[in-house]
Structure formats: C-alpha cells, structure tokens
Structure 1
C-alpha cells in the first residue's frame, strides 16, 4: 500500500508529533492511540504502534508495543519499512536489557547490526519542483532549502512515490507551475534521515537523497493533487516546525 499523506492515521500521527513538539505528551499519546484504534491495515498499524511504543512509561509496555510494530513491519517487509528494522531491533534489545534479559538483548542487538541501511529501491524515481527543466538536465545539490531558505542543501532529494513528488512540487518556492520529473540517480543514494525514524518509522514515503546529481529522463503530469485546504495545513505545519533539518 502506498503511503498517503491524506490517510487519517498519517494525519493523526502528524497531529501527535505536533503535540510532542509543543511539549504536550499527554495530548500526543491520545492522538497516537486514536490512530492505533482507527488503523485497518498492516502499514497503518505499524506506524501507529511505533508512536504508541515511544510514549510508554516502562520497559515491559514499551517492549510489547515495539514487538507489535515489528510484527506488522515483518508482514510488510518492503522498501518502505526495511530501514526501520535496525531501529526496531535496537530498541527491543534495550528493553530486554532493562528487563534483565541479557541473552534476548544480545540476540536483538545482533539483529539490529545485521541490517545495512543501503536502499534497495529500484524506482522509478521522481523529483517535484516549480523549475522549468528539460530531459537531460541535471539536478544538483547546493540549492537553498524550500523549508529553511537560509540553509544551503548538501544533497538533492527525490522519492519513488509520484504523489509525494507532487506534494513537494506544490510546497516548493517560486511562481512557476508544479512539475514532477522522472529522475535517474547518477551516484549512490541513502534514505532521507529527515523522514526515516525522525518522523515516520522506516521510510514509508520512499524518500531518498544523494550528493550526486539527478538526471531528468522524463516528466509526469497525472499525480494526485491535494485540495487547497489540505495544502494549507501542510504549509502551516512546515511554517510551525521547529526541528532541525539533517543536512
């Protein structure tokens, strides 16, 4: 199932993260539990359980929710969640350590170490912007951030979800039309750490970044546009976001 920013569980998770940033953990856990109760498929349950886990007061309850999140992640076992496995196994190991289960802790530390965070995603890949570009042009790092104009970005960002690139285009600075280009990485790339585990567990948006240029190989026009109210809320979240960008 493709990650959808209009999904109700995703929206509840975003609201919960907003409460966390405002220093309101009690309000955050209410929203995450609501997301869990409304989740209907493995991806939604995986996301919700991840957030519920990190608000548990003791190691036993935290372990229960982490193992629940892991169960649904294993059911999915795709590029969207694979990068969450080291994080999940590491935190499960810490819980076992706190509970006095050294053998279980050692087992899960080893599982965490066995996963290498190298994306296996084969694409196709997309980049959303308002720039008017042509096939063969190169997108390179070094531009100012759309979200913090004073920050010059060390990477160029892209995604394997066309609707995610469409959202990026809608949020991009500038007066030009929203454009979504099909791109080809010219070098190695990594999971975008601003998404992976910092916000959503794993990489459900299949968002990546590279220090090497992206070559434009085509353009798409048929992505799902957000309605003006949803777009306004996204701009509001970005404007109120106080966290740092991992550059």
Structure 2
C-alpha cells in the first residue's frame, strides 16, 4: 500500500538534488507533489518524469524568499498535508569572508524562505486537522564546519525552528522534524568542486567523500527514504526530533 496515498505535499527546491529525489519518491508513494522552485523550467522534467511513471506533480515558479509569492501559491493549492522545506543555498567562507550581502542572501533563502513556507502552510494544516513538516537542516547545525559561517547559521536556525514548531503545534496534530545530512552527492556538489577547486576535482571529491567515516557521500535517494518515513503515518509518534543521516560524521569522526 502506498505510504502517502491521497496526500498533498509541497517540496521547496524540489527540482534538483535532494529535493528532486524527495519529490519523485513521494509521488511514487501516492502523493500529489507540488514543487516550488526558482527554476521552474529546470524543474519541469521532474514533473514530466513523475507523470510518465503514473504519479501526480506540478511545478510552481517561486522565490521562497518572497513571502507574497509563497502565500499565493499555497492558497492556490488549498489542502496541504506535508511540507518539506528543502530549498537552500550555500556560502563558502568564515566570518571575515562573509560580506553583509552574502549573509543576507543565505538568510533570506535558507531561513526566511523556510519561515515564509511555514507561515503559509501551518494555518492551512491547522484548518485541515494536521500535517507533517520536515525541514532540511545539516550537520553544520550541530558541529563546526570550516568556512561555512553563514551556512551554519542558517541551518542552526532551521533546527531551532523545527523544534519550536513541534512544541507549539502538537495540539493541532502537526508534527515537525528535521533531517541533518552530511555531504550528499548532487550536481550542486560537482559544481561547487569545479568552481572552487579547478584542476583538482577528483582529489577534492575523494577528500570530501572520505570526510564521512563510512567513506562516501550519501545518495539523494537515501535522504528521500528517511524523509518519506518521517512524513508518513508510520512516524505518527515522532515529532520534535532531528535525524542526522551522516555516515557517522557527527559521532564517529575520531
């Protein structure tokens, strides 16, 4: 039996990487998946693939940092059972290499973007009798990562918001959890390596892979499977938790 039959899910940043894997798996499990993505054209192939496989999906062009855009889309969708706050951007640099505009850009997308989606969706979930919220945090929320000052800030905020939501909306039958991945092999990672380490791609990929004690990066599909569990009724007794999916990064790097 499909785990998300008759559910309506919103996945921000669902057109690529982890968001793409989550969108595809949720649709395969019976959800109608609404993808909110800045690059709607780039996300359309994900929708097409879902529909070709017999699933239901729709892409909405959306800048999650713009609250009015998010609210309008959520109101148009109507019923929402699941929200996955996945959209995010990175920044490389310590405090001294984080300019005000860098800080603001990361905050506006990663933190305010999640806030905007939550602000639009939570009242809808309350009116419909509940729902499941999953926020994509990171190991950077709980351990120090070199040259990730702004990014770590944003993921720490995501972690804290997830816990606060869980506490405040239990009586409304809304569950809130977060996932904290270590490095995941996505096109973003390949682009990051090419941009920052030209000519050293293979060496840096191996180094980043081995920073996880398990010896490799995660696959997007592995993150999606944990997301599916936490957003399904199988996790009905789980709220207010963060789940590292990190190949041993947090506790076994010694």
TM-score when scaled to structure 1? Answer: 0.28
TM-score when scaled to structure 2? Answer: 0.27
Bigger radius of gyration: 1
